[in-house]
Chain A
């Protein structure tokens, strides 16, 4: 057991340092689909979240409930649905998005919508009502008041968008079903791991898994570091790296 992990580690380092173009391409494709998917989703998710978070209307609790419910939607179920829509006989077959990276990106955009909507709407909704009153008593219009509340919760938004990216980055169902796991075309880290396991190449699978996790961890640490700088009045230039890690 320990052997396999040590081997996998070496294999991972070999894979990363060997300059194998397919490895880099796979990493790039994974970042591309999750990145484009998340950005695309922001186009509609953030406005929906703003409406849900800052305005009151009848039936709002129900819509929020629906978005909450879909946060954990199984990716295979959504993948299947999108497959049917994008397949040649489907409504959107003419777009020829099946088995393409952009097809996966669109699927992931839909997948992460409930994450961005729910987290962002909650953050906006719980923005201190004192701040709303403050903006108003200082003369701000309703629109200006909303802008300031959005500004106050911008960091929560960054975190929800990051969570959305991570969800897309690590999902398998949509990438497999909509992307088809075509070598050199639509293979991403998760589908690469799945297929290497099928081949019995556990060490390669493990290597891909390590790369996947490494990227997720680096992203999370970067966000934490930015948060530290934001919260603590530490300027970037003064932020010695060990200090950032050491918590001192």
Chain B
């Protein structure tokens, strides 16, 4: 049976900014759901709530049909941040951190770290200082670090934003290879082409509201919402 995540009427306000206005969504494993929207649409806010890093003002999240509080949500989900963060450690320390917390046997860790670095094409980077790496390299390390945890909910907030096209393709392939019935993958992006390449389902969010949910073919050829039509034609400001 595939895992599923249900968002029910989520709202979030920052002072007088309504970042999310009643967002409801059903997500299943074995798919890549692309959360598409311009800057400020509410993608990061939604991702942070799904990651259990922030609580919504109202609404609920069900994981496998069970109401799940942020703390419990954090145990099943991992978020890769839009703005990459690295601990002041070498790459190995950054990758091993989550494994140690999950009590992975000590002798297994080096092997798993090595494999994760292969997957993002940064082999033998273990001893490098994470904070000294280039933006793109850090972003790939951040992805490897999340992949390692094998979470049921993998949340990727604009994971290729700082990457050159070649690295972006590598990363896109790595993400696709993570598809599994035991994993819900959500990727936020404002890049239409990337959405077309990767999505099994596109969720268009605008001003804190979901305006369109569709398979890529329908989304691009036959959008139902006026806002989506404008977005596709490049008539929405970024």
- Residues of chain A having any CB pair with chain B under 8 Å: 128, 130-131, 133-141, 144, 148, 151-152, 233
Are B81 and A144 in contact, with the CB atoms below 8 A? no
Secondary structure at the B interface, as helix, strand, loop or mixed, is mixed
Binary per-residue interface labels of chain B (90-103) against chain A in the complex, 1 for a CB within 8 Å, 0 otherwise: 00000001100110
CB of B222 within 8 A of chain A? no
The size class of the interface chain B forms with chain A is 20 to 34
Q: In chain B, residues 144-169, which have Cβ atoms closer than 8 Å to a Cβ of chain A?
A: 145, 149
- Residues of chain B having any CB pair with chain A under 8 Å: 48, 51-53, 74-75, 77-79, 81, 83, 85, 87-88, 97-98, 101-102, 129, 132, 145, 149
Of B78, B85, B145, the contact of A128 (CB 8 Å cutoff): B85
Of A131, A138, A152, the contact of B149 (CB 8 Å cutoff): A138
B53 contacts across to A, CB distance below 8 A: 133, 136-137
Docked Cα-Cα span, A134 to B88, in Å, equals 12
Name the residue among A139, A148, A152 with the largest chain B CB count within 10 angstroms: A139
Are A140 and B85 in contact, with the CB atoms below 8 A? no
Min CB–CB distance B63 → chain A (angstroms): 15
Are A130 and B149 in contact, with the CB atoms below 8 A? no
Min CB–CB distance A104 → chain B (angstroms): 37
Min CB–CB distance B196 → chain A (angstroms): 28
Docked Cα-Cα span, A148 to B88, in Å, equals 10
Are B85 and A138 in contact, with the CB atoms below 8 A? no
B78 contacts across to A, CB distance below 8 A: 137-139
Are A134 and B149 in contact, with the CB atoms below 8 A? no
Of A130, A135, A151, the contact of B81 (CB 8 Å cutoff): A130
Of B77, B88, B101, B129, the contact of A140 (CB 8 Å cutoff): B101
Min CB–CB distance A242 → chain B (angstroms): 25
Of A131, A136, A152, A233, the contact of B74 (CB 8 Å cutoff): A136
Are A233 and B129 in contact, with the CB atoms below 8 A? yes
Can you list 29 A-B contacts with CB-CB less than 8 angstroms, sorted by A residue number? A130-B81, A130-B85, A131-B87, A133-B48, A133-B79, A133-B85, A134-B81, A134-B85, A134-B87, A136-B52, A137-B51, A137-B52, A137-B74, A137-B77, A137-B78, A137-B79, A138-B101, A138-B149, A139-B98, A139-B101, A139-B102, A139-B149, A140-B101, A141-B101, A144-B101, A148-B87, A148-B97, A152-B88, A233-B132
